[in-house]
């Protein structure tokens, strides 16, 4: 019948919206899933960084999360199919592979244009601070010059909290002076947590398939 094509039921697909291509539904779903995934990673970063009560534990968590974000990006850049990931990409990322070192993976992502220069420099500085603490047994505070100096050089930090005029012994009770220092340290630490969370969340939200010439290739 001539009308059969008009009234015949669809095979389970959603009706197309006027002016919208059928592929738009898929694109929207992928975009929504990516947003949910990005938000979940940002929440994870914030939670783990906030759990780092000392400078050492904070930097350890930051570099571990950086490594996690870069690993995902590298796999996305090279991904073609499950076979390629298992037999080609994963060996590259193994400890003995050419991309086994975090610094190499970072340089690769920068070289391919996946991350910006500022993101690259910030990641390098975080790794350098973490490495420095590996050879330094001192336990620093967030407000020590050895920490504030390098941290103030990070591009992701818009501004550090201004140093208050601390009360001196004899001007106030010792407990009040200690409270003043503690409050300033909490302000600095909060700035660090939020700044690094933003940096790592932005790196984790990259889409190499759109930014990288390798990711844009078809198998």
Tens digit of each residue's pLDDT (9 = 90 or more) over 126-172: 999 999 998 998 999 999 999 999 999 999 999 999 888 877 777 77
Q: How far apart are CA 50 and CA 65, in angstroms?
A: 13
End-to-end CA distance of the chain: 43
pLDDT of 24 over the 70 cut:
no
**Average of per-residue pLDDT across 47-55:** 92
Note whether 130 and 63 are within 8 A (CB): yes
Domains and CATH numbers, the chain: 28-216 (1.20.120.330)
Which of 24-28, 40-44, 177-181, 196-200 comes out lowest in average pLDDT? Answer: 24-28
pTM of the model: 0.75
């Amino acid at each position: 019948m001539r009308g059969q094509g008009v009234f015949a039921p669809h095979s389970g697909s959603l009706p197309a919206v006027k002016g919208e291509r059928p592929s738009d539904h898929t694109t929207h779903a992928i975009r929504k899933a990516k947003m949910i995934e990005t938000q979940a990673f940002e929440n994870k970063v914030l939670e783990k960084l906030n759990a780092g009560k000392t400078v050492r534990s904070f930097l350890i968590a930051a570099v571990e999360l950086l490594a996690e974000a870069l690993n995902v990006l590298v796999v996305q850049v090279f991904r073609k199919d499950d076979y390629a990931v298992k037999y080609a990409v994963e060996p590259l990322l193994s400890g003995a592979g050419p991309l086994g070192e975090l610094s190499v993976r970072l340089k690769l992502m920068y070289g391919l244009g996946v991350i910006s220069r500022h993101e690259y420099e910030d990641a390098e500085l975080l790794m350098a601070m973490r490495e420095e603490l590996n050879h330094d047994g001192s336990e620093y505070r967030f407000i020590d010059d050895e920490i504030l100096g390098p941290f103030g050089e990070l591009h992701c930090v818009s501004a550090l909290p201004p140093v208050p005029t601390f009360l001196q012994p004899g001007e106030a009770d010792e407990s009040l002076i200690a409270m003043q220092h503690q409050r300033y340290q909490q302000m600095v630490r909060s700035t660090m947590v939020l700044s690094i969370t933003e940096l790592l969340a932005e790196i984790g939200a990259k889409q190499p398939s759109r930014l990288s010439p390798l990711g844009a290739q078809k198998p």
